[in-house]
């Protein structure tokens, strides 16, 4: 699963659009925890490289 969300803006770095439009602003560690609670294993996470977008790539546990 690929989860993407806007990270909270850096302190003092809110842009003009931030005043009018609110995104999720979920802390990346909170997103990893949510996926773990759903039974998924985070395998990679980080910045997307565009704006304040961050991602978590997670997989389901292997079944035998």
pTM of the model: 0.72
Note whether 9 and 52 are within 8 A (CB): yes
Judge whether residue 2 has pLDDT over 60. yes
Q: Please report, for the chain, the start and end positions of each structural domain, with discontinuous segments joined by +.
A: 2-59
Per-residue model confidence (pLDDT) at position 63: 82
- Residue 31 structure tokens: 């997103």
Q: The tokens 């292997």 sit on which residue?
A: 62
User: Over the stretch 16-50, which tens digit does the pLDDT of each residue have?
Assistant: 555 555 556 678 899 999 999 999 999 999 998 88
């Amino acid at each position: 699963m690929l989860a993407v969300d806007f990270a909270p803006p850096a302190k003092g770095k809110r842009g003009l659009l931030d005043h009018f439009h609110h995104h999720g602003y979920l802390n990346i560690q909170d997103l990893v925890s949510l996926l773990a609670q759903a039974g998924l294993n985070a395998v990679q996470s980080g910045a997307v490289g565009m704006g304040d977008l961050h991602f978590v790539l997670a997989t389901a546990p292997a079944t035998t």
